[in-house]
Structure 1
Amino acid sequence: MNGGAAASTSGGWTVLLVWLAVINLLTFIVYGADKRRARKGKWRVPEKTLFLLPLLGGSIGALLGMRVFHHKTKHWYFVWGIPAILLAQIALAVWIYTK
């Protein structure tokens, strides 16, 4: 990027970084809360939501939540799906950055 383009998009990068921090923290918390609810036999977070949050940018939070809380680690569609979402997001980020 040239200097002018970098200056005009720096606010956009800040917004993106704040969004990613918030969505990943929220995703991590939701995975932990769902695990706690599962242990207590309470109402659960729908699996659609547990996939939507990573799709919205919280894939790192989901992976950390799976690892820390040992949550959804026996479901192949989470074990393979969440890393696939992260890889797709990284590929998209690289493509946008190098475009």
Structure 2
Amino acid sequence: MELLIIYLLVINMIAFAMMGMDKSYARHKKRRIPEKRLFGVSAIGGALGAWIGMQVWRHKTKHTSFRVGIPLLFLLNLVVIYYLSGLIGMNFNYIA
């Protein structure tokens, strides 16, 4: 259970940082982080961090694929986390 929480914290911090880095790279005309990589990190649990990064850094907010795709990946992340929590015995009853 603790490993899942640590993993999610780390992957979301990475996704958030990647959005900021890519924005900085774009401003300085440097080589960018591929969109496939940004979506990949989001798909493996970092969608919330990417979504927050989009808002904070004002990055990729005009791209329909990101405006729609990242929130959908966040919902997918929630479903997978809920499923995994059942497998490892986490109890979400205390949240409600």
2:41 corresponds to 1:53: yes
> Residues 58 and 38 (structure 1 numbering): CA distance in 2 closer, same or farther, change over 3 Å?
same
Greater alpha carbon shift after TM alignment, 86-95 vs 67-76:
86-95
Contact 2:44 2:77 in 1 (8 A): no
1:26 aligns with 2:14: yes
SS at match of 1:23: helix
Note the 1:68-87 alignment, pairs <5 A. Answer: 68-87=56-75
Alignment gaps of 5+ in structure 1: 1-12
Local SS of the residue matching 1:71? coil
Q: Separation in 1 of the partners of 2:7 and 2:82?
A: 18
Residue 97 (structure 1) shift: 4.4
Shift of 1:85: 0.6
Residue type at the aligned position of 1:53? V
Which one-letter code corresponds to 1:39 in the other structure? R
Instruction: Give the secondary-structure state (helix, strand or coil) at the position aligned to 2:60.
Output: coil
Counterpart residue number, 1:40: 28
What amino acid is aligned across from residue 7 of structure 2 in structure 1?
W
RMSD: 1.4
In terms of fraction of residues, the more helix-rich structure is 1
